[in-house]
Structures are given as C-alpha cells and as structure tokens.
Structure 1
Amino acid sequence: MVAKSNLHFDLSAPVQLLWFGEFISPEKNWKHLTRRLFEYELFVVTEGVLYIADEEFEHEVRAGEYLIMPPTVNQHGSRVCRCRFYWLHFRCPALPASVSMPEQGSFSDADTVRTIAKKLMQAEAAEPRGVHSRYLASELLLELREQALAGAHEAGGANSSAERLCERIREFVFFHRFSDVKVREIARELGYHAKYLSALFHRTEGVTLKSYINAQRCAEAKRLLLESGLTVTEVAYYLNFPDPHSFARFFKTMTGITATQFREEQSVSPPKPAPEI
C-alpha cells in the first residue's frame, strides 16, 4: 500500500469534529453508498478490506490501514466488501501551523488506536462534539500519523530514500499550489533531472508527477470555490492561470463539470451521514 499524497492540517488546536462512529458491514454484498462529501472523512479499518473511491482514485484499505478522504463530489464504494472500521467526519484548516500527514498509511499498534477510538466514543456519548471529543479526535489523527511515518521509516533502504524524496516533492507542490508549478522547476529546486524525478515519483506513488500537481491545484481550486467569496474569474487569477478560459478548461477536464456547477452543487446544505458511516 502506497500513499497517493500528503494532507496538511493545522493541529495546533483541536479539529472540528462533526461525527464519529464504528461500522461493521451487515452483509456479504455491502458497498459504501454514493454521495457528496463536504468535509474530511477518516476511515480506520480494523477487519477486512474497504474499497472506496472518489472522482480521481480508487482506494483499497486493509485491516491495519487508514485513509483520509478530502471533500469530493463523488465518494462511492468501488467494490462490495466485508469490513469493520471507525469513521470520523471532521474539518481542519491547513494553515498556519501545518502538519503533513500521509493520506493513506498503516498502523502496527492497533491496541493504542482502539483505545483512543473507544475513549472518543465514550466522550461523544457524554457530550457530542464537545471539547474532550475534539481533542481525542486530534489525538487519533496524530497517533495514526506517527505510526504511519514510523512504519515508512522502518521500511528502510532504497524505498525509504525514495519516499523521503517524494515527501520533499509533495511539500514543494503544497507550498507552491497557488502557482503554475512545472516538473522542471521542482527538479531544479531539488537538484535532480526532471525525467529522473518524474520516473521516481511515478514508481513510488503510483501516479505521474504532472497528474499529482494537477490534482493538488484542482483541490485548491475547489477549496477556494467553496470557502472564499471569490468569483470564478478571481479564483482563476488567484491560482495564476493566464486567463479565466484556461482555468475553465482545466477545471472541467479534472472534474467533468464547470467551476460554477461545482459551486452551485456544493452550496446545498450537507446532509448528516447515515449512522453506519
């Protein structure tokens, strides 16, 4: 299992917890429902395999692994599965105190993860979305982060070296997400040949570096469309597109809909998730 990208959260204060629970698939042919996801969702799989996807990636999350899905217009089950997992819906800004966390990772100390999850369930029963719950939700994220990073470090050798370089690439893309960053610029900054860097990233991450850059830029466009009062034209210039038409083509290629359609669809009040997820 290889993480597709890193996410960035400001965990200097507790996250905004929305809902938390544990789910056990009720039957052999269960598949996750299809819906819009308006916030981040964490899946912590403790039994079986969860198959879930968005408009960009299909994820296979096995027991002992977690996945964080960013907001998406098309969260859906990609295959039927039997599994058991904790789920957490939350919101958290990326800045100013950004912590980098693999979007998908593994954890070896399941007992510690379960202990935090059980404490969180008890806190939620006593005071839903209270301060105690919010701190425990943040603790769960940090524990998963530490275990995922420790596991990657223990892998050692060439894989660890490649992952560290990919982490530097992801960090560079994140902090230059408002500009039209090119592969050659990343290569020059990190001191590598562009073709070598692209091949290594593709081999390690499973996606091309150009595709990753576009996905991160699209994610930032979605965030601005949903969370700012900027017009579509202003978003285009904010992200350093040469003109609004270039941004329009880019956004529709990435999502299948226009930026205006995306904003209108997402402006609908988010429904509360079904109890099992």
Structure 2
Amino acid sequence: MVAFELIVDAPVDLEITGKFAAPSPDWIHLSRILLDYELIVMTEGVLYLAGDTTYFTVSKGEYLLLPPYTKQFGYKSSNCSFYWLHFKAQEGLTVTDITDTGHTIKPAENRLLLPQYGTVKSLEKIIVMMKQLQDSVRAYNQKTLNNYMTTVILCELYNQVFQSEHSPLRKTKQEQLYNDIVDYIKWSRSEHIKVSQIAAYFGYNEKYLSHLFSTISGIPLKQYILQQKMELAKFLLSDTNQNISEVSLQLGYKDCHNFMKSFKKIVGLTPTDFRNAYAKRLLFYE
C-alpha cells in the first residue's frame, strides 16, 4: 500500500476546505491535475475516483489522500457526500509498500506516515474537527490558526489509522472482551444501553464486566457509554440539520431534557450552544 510521509515540524499550509454533497445521483467528479494534497473523508455513499492509473472506491467511513501532480478524475457516477481539504506540506519519503520491513510504521516525532487510502477509527470525531476548521475559516480566516488546525486533523487521522490497523493484536481474553464491548457500544449508541444489557449479551456478571472495563480503559463503563453517545450527538449537531428533539430520539433518549442535561455535563455546552459555536459550515459543489 502506498503511504506518504509528511514533515510537520512546522504546520502544513491549508489551501481550501469544504463539505461536498453530490447535486444528483448522476454526478461524476471533475477531471484535473492536483497542485497540492487533497484529503477526502467520506460521510455518505460511495465515491468513484481515479488518481493517475489507480481507481479508488471510497465508502462512508473511509478516506483518500492524493498527492500533488496527480491526475484526478471520476470514472463512475457517485451519489455521495464528503469533507475535503487541500493543503501543502513538506514531503519526506513516498513509501510504496507500508508493510515493507525496510520502513518503520512509527516515523519521527515531526513526521506523519499516512497510507493513501484507509478507514478512520472514529468518523464522527474527524468530521467535528473538519467542521471546526471550516468554522475557523469563516469566522476568522487567520492563516496560522487554520494551518495548525489542519495539521491537528492530519495528526488525528494518523493516530486513528495507526491504532486501528498497525497496533499489535491484543492477546489476552480480557483485552479481547474489552475490544468487543467497545465495538458493541459504538454500534448501539442510538439505543438506550445499560450495563446489565451488555453483561447479558456477553454472558458475564455485571459487576465483573464493569470492573474489567474500568481497569483497562481507566473510566467506568457507564461513563464510556455516555461519552460515546455524546460523540455521536456532536456529529449529528454539527453535520445534520436535525433539531434537538430528533437528535435526542436518535440517541435513545425518551426525554429530551435528560439528553440536554447529559450533553451539558459531558461537553460543557448545551446542544444549542454547541451547534451555534460551529455553525459556519462550508458547502461546496465541485
């Protein structure tokens, strides 16, 4: 797999960013030569995009990074939406095979090694950060701030990809159970999840499961469930036009006031204040 090493001892230079939504199911990406890096993070549908002679199929939850001087063109109709940003960076090595033992997975502190294509571990977190960058562009348009925020997004992406694809496999039964619980919670965030429900699903004692989880993660299981619900809430508030009641229902809350109270406790802002703080989304059609 191709990967790009970016030198980030200084922040990268943001050129432009936005969110794209296909204007029709028949939309096909334009043909052009890139003058800088483009990062695409998919939020809905499938994007059929070629870079030189490589044809990519990029689905929701996946990203694509194309380098400068790439001939980019759509090769099929793509009914999709995605966040994107163009940036310039000082490039180190271009690794043609990230599994090659001659190249280390962990670059130096001032370098990021990003595979050209991959799956993000937390799509909602990346989207919220992209939205915050767009809010900064609209509200301040201050180059230094925008450059640092773009660099932070790339660092977050590197850590998500590195942790999800290249971290050593957990070997113990307890650690595997912990991973299974984490996955179960992420898939069930739109439900009213209880610790007793999780314990019953995995066939363990509720007290034992709670102790195991807090020992490995450092936080109580109930707290983790709440945090994951609020991560999804932040995504819905920043990337959709659903009202507070609709977001509350989607997260499994029967009482909207309980949702607002929980959100304020975890995030430090009310849902309305959070939405208003990052309301300046950039929507572009290419």
TM-score, length basis structure 1: 0.53
Separation (CA, whole Å) in 2 of partners of 1:56 and 1:129: 37
**Alpha carbon RMSD of aligned pairs, Å?**
2.2
Separation (CA, whole Å) in 1 of partners of 2:113 and 2:121: 20
| 1:111 maps to 2:124 | yes
Q: What is the DSSP-based 3-state SS (H/G/I as helix, E as strand, rest coil) of the residue aligned with 2:141? A: coil
Provide, for residues 104-125 of structure 1, a one-character-per-residue CA deviation record: whole Å limited to 9, x for no partner.
1111312211211111011000
1:183 is aligned to none
- Offset at 1:153? 3.1
Q: 1:78 aligns with which of 56, 71, 75?
A: 75
Separation (CA, whole Å) in 2 of partners of 1:67 and 1:117: 15
Match of 1:131, as an amino acid?
A: T
Contact map agreement 2:37 2:65 (CA 8 A) in 1: yes
Contact map agreement 1:54 1:72 (CA 8 A) in 2: no
Residue correspondence of structure 1 range 167-206 to structure 2 within 5 A? none
Match of 2:11, as an amino acid?
A: P
Percent identity between the aligned chains? 32
Residue correspondence of structure 1 range 21-60 to structure 2 within 5 A? 21-60=18-57
Number of matched pairs:
158
| 1:149 maps to 2:162 | yes
Q: What is the DSSP-based 3-state SS (H/G/I as helix, E as strand, rest coil) of the residue aligned with 1:105? A: strand
Match of 1:276, as an amino acid?
A: Y
| 1:98 maps to 2:111 | yes
Contact map agreement 1:51 1:60 (CA 8 A) in 2: yes
Separation (CA, whole Å) in 1 of partners of 2:113 and 2:123: 22
Q: What is the DSSP-based 3-state SS (H/G/I as helix, E as strand, rest coil) of the residue aligned with 1:128? A: coil
Contact map agreement 1:7 1:103 (CA 8 A) in 2: yes
Separation (CA, whole Å) in 1 of partners of 2:9 and 2:27: 38
Separation (CA, whole Å) in 2 of partners of 1:19 and 1:149: 26
* Greater alpha carbon shift after TM alignment, 51-60 vs 71-80: 71-80
Separation (CA, whole Å) in 1 of partners of 2:26 and 2:49: 14
| 1:122 maps to 2:135 | yes
Where does structure 1 lack aligned partners over 5 or more consecutive residues? 158-273
Higher relative contact order (CA 8 A, sep 6+): 2
2:61 is aligned to 64
Separation (CA, whole Å) in 1 of partners of 2:14 and 2:147: 6
1:16 is aligned to 13
Q: What is the DSSP-based 3-state SS (H/G/I as helix, E as strand, rest coil) of the residue aligned with 2:91? A: coil
Residue correspondence of structure 1 range 231-250 to structure 2 within 5 A? none
Separation (CA, whole Å) in 1 of partners of 2:39 and 2:27: 19
Q: What is the DSSP-based 3-state SS (H/G/I as helix, E as strand, rest coil) of the residue aligned with 1:28? A: coil
Provide, for residues 64-111 of structure 1, a one-character-per-residue CA deviation record: whole Å limited to 9, x for no partner.
011110123521001111111011011000249432111111113122
Separation (CA, whole Å) in 2 of partners of 1:11 and 1:65: 23
Residue correspondence of structure 1 range 261-276 to structure 2 within 5 A? 275-276=284-285
Provide, for residues 32-77 of structure 1, a one-character-per-residue CA deviation record: whole Å limited to 9, x for no partner.
0001111110000011111111222111111001111012352100
- Offset at 1:127? 3.0
Note closer, same or farther for the CA distance 1:33–1:129 as it changes in structure 2 (3 Å cut).
farther
Contact map agreement 1:6 1:103 (CA 8 A) in 2: yes
Provide, for residues 157-189 of structure 1, a one-character-per-residue CA deviation record: whole Å limited to 9, x for no partner.
9xxxxxxxxxxxxxxxxxxxxxxxxxxxxxxxx
Where does structure 2 lack aligned partners over 5 or more consecutive residues? 93-107, 171-282
Provide, for residues 205-235 of structure 1, a one-character-per-residue CA deviation record: whole Å limited to 9, x for no partner.
xxxxxxxxxxxxxxxxxxxxxxxxxxxxxxx
1:139 is aligned to 152
Say which one has the larger Rg.
Answer: 2
Match of 2:112, as an amino acid?
A: V
